[in-house]
Chain A
Amino acid sequence: MASEVEETLKRIEGQRGVVGTVVCNADGIPIRSSLDGVATAQYARLLRKLTVMAKSAVRDIDPQNDLTFLRLRSQKCEIMVGLENEFLVIVIQNLHQ
């Protein structure tokens, strides 16, 4: 199972426009990343805060609901965050080839 996920992540990283992926555990510590250390730490820290807030917002409206994905589209790139089992999977992709 773990190898399948690993393969999937490798494929994602190989896709056109993808800058990198970061996987964080429940404490917000990156456990796997294809970016350098500084960028990894930055993305992990900032997106963790954002997802916590987003999750709080979703659950505040309906406590039985929960946040699953977060897509942040900016001018230059798109940051996609998947939440599962308290883990964060972050993918950064550039737009406009």
Chain B
Amino acid sequence: MQDAFFCRGSNETVLFVQDKEDGMEHGDEWDEWSHGKTLTKPPDQLELTEAELNETFTRILTATNPHAPQNIVRYSFKKRSYKPISAVDQMAVHFVLEGNLLYKDSDEARRQMAKQGLPAGMYHIMLSTFPEKDAAEMEEVEEEDRPDSAASKTGKKEQKLTNQINFCERASQTLNNPPRERNCQTEPPPRCNFSAIANQWEIYDAYVEELQKQEKNKEKQKAIPSKKDDEDDDRGKKKMILMETQTQSDDLCKMAKATKILERMVNQNIYGDLAIDFKYYEDCSDEFREQEGTLLPLWKFQCDKAKKLTVTALCWNKKYQDLFAAGMGSYDFSKQGRGVLVFYTLKNSSFPEYIYPTNCGIMCLDIHEQVSYLVAVGFYDGCVAVYNLKEDGQQPVYQSTAKTGKHTDPVWQVRWQNDDMDGNHNFYSVSSDGRVVSWTLVKNELVSTDIIKLTMEGVPHLSTASFDFHKQINHLFLVGTQEGKIHKCFKTYSSQYLETYDAHTLAVDAVKWNHFHPKVFISCSSDWTVKIWDHTINTPMFTFELYAAVGDVAWAPYSSTVFAAVTVNGKVHIFDLNVNKYEAICQQQVVAKKTKLTHIEFNLVHPLIIVGDDQGYITSFKLSPNLRKQPKVRQSSLSRLTDVMPMQI
């Protein structure tokens, strides 16, 4: 069958018309077509006869481009005219697609491969769809070329191949989001400035605290195994709470000590001159006066509670040499009232250290030598009492009553003795009822023992006014009576006197053993005399007339030959037998004439004497150098007095 491409003029629509014959020869394929195919004629089909239809026309196919122009004319400069071109380009380009495939051996391809760093053969690897034959070749090629490729790679730097015509760098910027600052502020933590200095003591304190913590931990660990843990803790906590409340409330109590010392400081400022005088002033005029000395008045002690009372007893404290006790009462039989026991210190002259008011007038007192806080006191009503300075409270710790054997008359003297064999403290008291009683402090009681009942020629009661125990011989003591006699007695012999001295015509006010000489004692009396005795001799060695009733006499603790006496006319007389055997080396009016001086005491270490009067004042005086001449080392006090004593017949 000829496949002819029939074409009938461009204006005519060509139909693909199949003859029936053709259709049947083609077989099945065409059957479908023929079924559906009926001859349809367009309305403007040219009507032709059959002869015209069967006319054959011949067409010739040529390769010429129908659209190509057939008569192109070009201007020829040679001939200066247009000349038709014979050959017209007949190529009709139907489709152009620019691709990017290069022939491998072309220059451009070679250049590209060189750029990529691959030798000519390597491009095989790049292609993925290759038959296996070539794959094997590829592998071989790969192995050979790999080292080369590596070398070539490292050797050359690649230059970016750019298309020299069309290439252009183009960058694009993405949209930058506008930045936003976002912050939030918190509340600043509270600040405080801290500064500290690490001193030596800060470090020390820290260590001490640490140590205490450790100790507490140790104690806690020890306490843990015990069963009563909880109870203890509760009790401990309660105690702690109590303690705390106490400490909070007692604000002022904590400063007791400080305020006390501040008071003394204030006094020191006020009486500063006196303190300096006491310490340093020495009367220079003594150098010019041969024998005489003077008394420099220093502090004056007075107390409101003691106004109008008489100083009835004075005693220095052995342990604290600036502390002394004064007992106040009254010697007047008709004016008996209250009394007061006061303790003063030289450091504070404006107010006593201790005050113990009493119902009854105090007549005598004594401070224990060793246990210096125990004070024995004898009252006008015959009672004795013992005060303990360490205890709070104004009551005595011991007091005698009628049951326990108190005196029936005023107690004129009390004296502490050495502790007895059981170790109990004991003291003696002497009263005008004639009894010398020993009182022992047994636990909480005061046990009395009558030592002696003083009688004279059968008369049971003898009024005793004073007594003194021998310094060395403990059981020997002297008793002075209201009648003027002095009795020498032993503690152990309760019924008999060893000896009696007819000492004075009036009452013996004081009897004192010498501190140094074991045989000598002194006595004074209202008969205006002071007498010095040797107890082995019945008559006095020295007698001094003082022209006024002598209230008290005292030996000096620093010299065996010095003693002082006070009289009711307000004078103090000081004698030094070593200097002048007949006269006083100092006679000084220390108080107003009307004031009676009642007692005098020497301080044990300082050159000071205190004098009590009947107005309730106690005045202190410093002894000038002439009055305190002490024996030189070679010469003992004892021998001084012995030298002075008159020869015995």
Distance in angstroms between the alpha carbons of A60 and B263 in the assembled complex: 29
- Chain B residues near A59 (CB-CB < 8 A): 199-201, 204
CB atoms of A12 and B259 under 8 A apart: yes
CB atoms of A5 and B252 under 8 A apart: yes
The answer to whether B350 has its CB under 8 Å from any CB of chain A is yes
- Would A93 and B269 be within 8 Å (CB), given that A80-B262, A82-B258 are in contact? yes
CB atoms of A4 and B256 under 8 A apart: yes
CB atoms of A5 and B256 under 8 A apart: yes
- Would A85 and B267 be within 8 Å (CB), given that A56-B201, A64-B204, A69-B261 are in contact? no
CB contact between A89 and one of B255, B269, B270, B351 (< 8 Å): that residue: B255
Chain B proximity mask over A56-74: 1 for CB below 8 Å, otherwise 0 = 1001110110001101000
Distance in angstroms between the alpha carbons of A73 and B267 in the assembled complex: 15
> For residues 232 through 283 of chain B, which have their beta carbon under 8 Å from a beta carbon of chain A?
250-263, 265-267, 269-270
Distance in angstroms between the alpha carbons of A80 and B522 in the assembled complex: 48
Contact-size category for B: 20 to 34
- Chain B residues near A93 (CB-CB < 8 A): 266, 269-270
- Would A84 and B258 be within 8 Å (CB), given that A11-B263, A23-B252, A93-B266 are in contact? yes
The answer to whether A45 has its CB under 8 Å from any CB of chain B is no
CB atoms of A6 and B252 under 8 A apart: yes
The answer to whether A18 has its CB under 8 Å from any CB of chain B is yes
CB distance from A88 to the nearest CB of B (A): 9
Distance in angstroms between the alpha carbons of A32 and B252 in the assembled complex: 9
Distance in angstroms between the alpha carbons of A59 and B201 in the assembled complex: 5
Distance in angstroms between the alpha carbons of A89 and B256 in the assembled complex: 10
The answer to whether B205 has its CB under 8 Å from any CB of chain A is yes
- Chain B residues near A84 (CB-CB < 8 A): 254-255, 257-258
Distance in angstroms between the alpha carbons of A33 and B251 in the assembled complex: 14
CB contact between B259 and one of A8, A25, A56 (< 8 Å): that residue: A8
Residue of A nearest to B256 (CB): A5
Contact-size category for A: 35 or more
CB atoms of A23 and B255 under 8 A apart: yes
- Chain A residues near B351 (CB-CB < 8 A): 11
Distance in angstroms between the alpha carbons of A87 and B248 in the assembled complex: 12
CB distance from A65 to the nearest CB of B (A): 9
The answer to whether A39 has its CB under 8 Å from any CB of chain B is no
The answer to whether A38 has its CB under 8 Å from any CB of chain B is no
CB atoms of A91 and B201 under 8 A apart: no
Distance in angstroms between the alpha carbons of A84 and B250 in the assembled complex: 13
CB atoms of B205 and A89 under 8 A apart: no
Chain A proximity mask over B596-617: 1 for CB below 8 Å, otherwise 0 = 0000000000000000000000
- Would A12 and B266 be within 8 Å (CB), given that A6-B252, A25-B251, A87-B258 are in contact? yes
- Chain A residues near B204 (CB-CB < 8 A): 59, 63-64
29 contacts between A and B (CB under 8 A): A2-B252, A5-B253, A5-B259, A6-B252, A8-B263, A12-B259, A12-B262, A12-B263, A15-B266, A15-B350, A17-B270, A31-B251, A56-B201, A60-B199, A61-B200, A63-B200, A63-B203, A68-B258, A69-B258, A69-B261, A71-B265, A80-B262, A82-B261, A84-B257, A85-B255, A91-B262, A91-B265, A93-B266, A95-B269
A sample of 14 more A-B contacts (CB under 8 A), given A2-B250, A15-B267, is A1-B250, A2-B251, A4-B256, A8-B259, A17-B269, A23-B252, A63-B203, A63-B205, A69-B258, A69-B262, A82-B262, A85-B255, A87-B255, A87-B258
**B interface vs A, CB < 8 Å?**
199-201, 203-205, 250-263, 265-267, 269-270, 350-351
